[in-house]
């Protein structure tokens, strides 16, 4: 799923920099961008920034648990983002069979949404 990217261009401080300012591999958002902008880039950021967000929510909001509504049908937006990230990784690693399956899954999702919107 989501993981950290380090700034490999820095000499000797890349692991320290990555630990202090983790970065989401899906949306590219880093912790400093969240702190300055106050918004996350994608649902996977909750996993990437884990403890920091928990501390932030405990001090700034009344609850840690989201109690809003979720879609009742079809794959969630989170799942679609995960499939897109997996597709990019499959292409990079030249796993074209998996890439084709993910591409088809994403296309099917897009067609389902279009049919639902047309009705």
pLDDT digits (tens, 9 = 90+) for 20-40: 778 888 888 888 888 888 888
Task: Give the residue with greater pLDDT, 58 vs 103.
Answer: 103
105 neighbors 97 (Cβ within 8 angstroms): no
Q: Can you tell me the mean pLDDT for 87-100? A: 93
Which helix (H) or strand (E) is 78 found in, with range? helix 77-92
pLDDT digits (tens, 9 = 90+) for 38-65: 888 888 888 888 888 777 777 777 666 6
Task: Give the residue with greater pLDDT, 115 vs 64.
Answer: 115
Each domain of the chain, given as residue ranges in start order, spans: 14-60, 77-118
CA distance 88 to 42: 16
Q: Does pTM surpass 0.85?
A: no
* Predicted local confidence at residue 18, as pLDDT: 57
């Amino acid at each position: 799923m989501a993981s950290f990217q380090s700034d490999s261009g820095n000499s000797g401080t890349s692991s320290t920099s990555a630990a202090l300012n983790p970065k989401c591999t899906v949306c590219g958002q880093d912790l400093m961008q969240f702190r300055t902008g106050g918004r996350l880039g994608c649902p996977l950021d909750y996993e990437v920034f884990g403890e920091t967000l928990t501390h932030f929510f405990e001090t700034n909001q009344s609850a840690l648990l989201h109690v809003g509504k979720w879609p009742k049908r079809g794959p969630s937006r989170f799942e679609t983002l995960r499939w897109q990230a997996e597709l990019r990784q499959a292409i990079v690693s030249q796993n074209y069979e998996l890439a084709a399956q993910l591409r088809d899954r994403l296309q099917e999702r897009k067609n389902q949404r279009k049919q639902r919107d047309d009705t």
